[in-house]
Structure 1
Amino acid sequence: MIINLTGEPVRLYGLSAADVIEDDALDSGCIVIPAEDPPAYLDVISLGSPGDDVHGGRTVEIDLCEFHVRDLPAPQASTRLIVPPGVALASRGRGDLLIAFGDVVDTTGASVGHRLLVSPC
């Protein structure tokens, strides 16, 4: 079972999908995985700057952050969870987490879906 905790439907077009989809208003060319509530999300708490750095003669601002994942259920056998990339990366080691990967866009350049799901762990 796959549960979508991204907060929005995930549209998967497959590896052979074109980079640009002309018109798929009826979602006929993809698999749609509806969003479930509540979505998993990431709280980012700034801990302040340890000091800025310089790259190429320009100042690069650096900020220390603490990440807190919210509304992410515990792993369950035979269940995979689609989550936002930040949640997956902050939860490294969880083999049940998936992220949508490989953008597919419409003719205006807006993202309409993805090619596949990947496990970042």
Structure 2
Amino acid sequence: MIINLTGETVRVYGPDAPDVIADDALDTRCTVFAAEVPPAYINLDVLRAGPRTFHGGRPVQTYLVRHIVCDLPASRPDTYLLVDAAVGLASRGRSDLLIGFDSVHDAAGALVGYRHIVSPC
């Protein structure tokens, strides 16, 4: 079983999908994972200001932060959790997490889904 904790509907079109879906993106050529509530998300805890640097002649302030993953349930047998890429990457070591990979867009350039879902571990 796959539970979608991204907060949005996720569509997986498969490896042969084109980069751009010109017709209706909600067609039957994909697997649809409806969003569950509550979604898993990340809070950033700012620990301190980091070094100030410059890019293109303008100052850029950096910060040291800690990522706090919220509303991510514990692992369960035979269950995968589809999460946002940031949540997946901040939760290293969890073999039950999946993220969308290889984007598919509509004719206007908006993201409509992915070709694959993969483990970030």
Query: What's the counterpart of residue 95 of structure 2?
Result: 95
Listed as ranges, the matches of 1:1-121 within 5 Å are 1-54=1-54, 59-121=59-121
User: CA 1:26/1:99 → structure 2, altered by over 3 Å: closer, same or farther?
Assistant: closer
Which contiguous aligned blocks of 4+ residues in structure 1 show a shift greater than 4 angstroms? 54-60
Tell me the number of residue pairs that the alignment of Structure 1 and Structure 2 aligns. 121
Q: Give 1:84 shift.
A: 0.7
Task: Give the root-mean-square deviation of aligned CA atoms.
Answer: 1.6
Listed as ranges, the gaps of 5+ residues in structure 1 are none
**Structure 1 residue 62, shift from structure 2 partner:** 1.7
**Identity of paired residues, percent?**
55
| CA shift in 2, pair 1:53/1:25, >3 Å | closer
Query: C-alpha separation between the residues in 2 aligned to 1:70 and 1:57?
Result: 37
Q: What SS does structure 2 have at the residue aligned with 1:109?
A: coil
Q: Which TM-score applies when normalising by structure 2?
A: 0.91
| Distance in 2, Cα, partners of 1:92 & 1:59 | 32
The structural deviation recorded for 1:67 is: 1.0
Higher strand proportion = 2
Task: Compute the displacement of 1:24 (Å).
Answer: 2.2
